[in-house]
A and B are shown apart, each in its own frame.
Chain A
Amino acid sequence: DIQLTQSPSFLSASVGDRVTITCRASQGINTYLAWYQQKPGGAPRLLIYAASILQSGVPSRFSGSGSGTDFTFTITSLQPEDFATYYCQRLNTYPWAFGQGTKVEVK
């Protein structure tokens, strides 16, 4: 199976910071990648799919890019409600594996 490696696992940031998370696939997956946000005690929420398309209702400060094996998720100006854990997920073939997650914490 194709593995996903997210980095970093933890990230300390302040409100207003630009935050970048990377997700690397062990083999090429075209743009079959999604990004989710999960807050403590809550279910994951789809933010981005097809590597760069913003899900309806998601603020434009979130963005994604990449194709093949290397992907990037960016929050341009971190807001208080953005402190959460973020996961990438590949969608090319089953099983749809997730990355191990990146926890964005208050600096």
Chain B
Amino acid sequence: QVQLVESGGGVAQPGRSLRLSCAASGFTLRSYAIHWVRQAPGKGLEWVALIWYDGSKKYYADSVKGRFTISRDNSRDTVYLQMSSLTTEDTAVYYCARVYSGYDPDAFDVWGQGTMVTVSS
């Protein structure tokens, strides 16, 4: 069964850090680019970051640039999102999503169940 499973969410104080993981199963992660997308409580979807299949290219939304770092370990079938200097605006459910390529832009065909990040003092 093709799936993505996020973990690492929780409560963090403003200014602190948190690392999220996205583990893949049922498919070869190293063949796919992966995105992180977040959704604040009661709000819409917001794209956060993208990493190419081999990690050679990384892109970020302006709202997280310089604070978040996306990385991957294909030997562990896992993608990470290192979040630093967290603010209350970062409170959201974070989803990882697999790229469905062949279109411009790529679509997201497989989504994880999401992990909740709450930034609060």
A and B bind:
no
Binding site for A on B (CB under 8 A): none
